[in-house]
Amino acid sequence: MEEVIVGSEAGFCYGSANVWQTVGYVLMVFKIIIPILLIIFGMIDLGKAVIASKDDEIKKATKSLMFRAVSAICIFFIPTIVGLLMGLVGSFGNLKSDFEICRKCISNPMSEECAGPASDAWGVEKEY
């Protein structure tokens, strides 16, 4: 049985960096697209209500737009909050160096700290 050396090429996060990098890309897409869609749909609803010229519908659509805008802001900041919590959890014990690779790949999948381990995990040859 091979001994796992935390933070090295035999570590869990180093070996699964391609998975964490993919999760990071998915989170990046959700962080951008979902808030934009929420605000667009809210604006469409408000536009329909204004065109209908009914005060009750305008108030309802305005309330809906505000709710969607707050939801969009919350969704935008969820990955940041999760990254901060992961940073706090990862700072405990001797797992910090290995955990840092997971955190970097999730929070910034295009970073240099993630690119090396992820290319190794994907089986891509490095060019020096």
User: In degrees to the nearest 10, what's the CA dihedral of 78, 82, 85, 86?
Assistant: -170
pLDDT for the residue 61: 85
Residue 34 in any domain: the answer is yes
pLDDT for the residue 128: 43
Residue 126 in any domain: the answer is no
Q: Provide the number of structural domains found in the chain.
A: 1
Yes or no: say if 96 and 11 are a contact pair by the CB < 8 Å rule: no
pTM of the model: 0.65
Yes or no: say if 50 and 58 are a contact pair by the CB < 8 Å rule: yes
Residue 70 in any domain: the answer is yes
Phi, psi of 121 (to 5 degrees): -70, -35
> Which residue range(s) make up the domain with 78?
12-112
Tens-binned pLDDT, residue by residue, of the chain (128 aa): 444 454 455 677 777 888 888 888 888 888 888 888 888 888 888 888 888 888 888 888 888 888 888 888 888 888 778 778 777 776 666 666 777 777 788 888 888 777 776 666 566 655 54
Residue 122 in any domain: the answer is no
pLDDT for the residue 4: 47
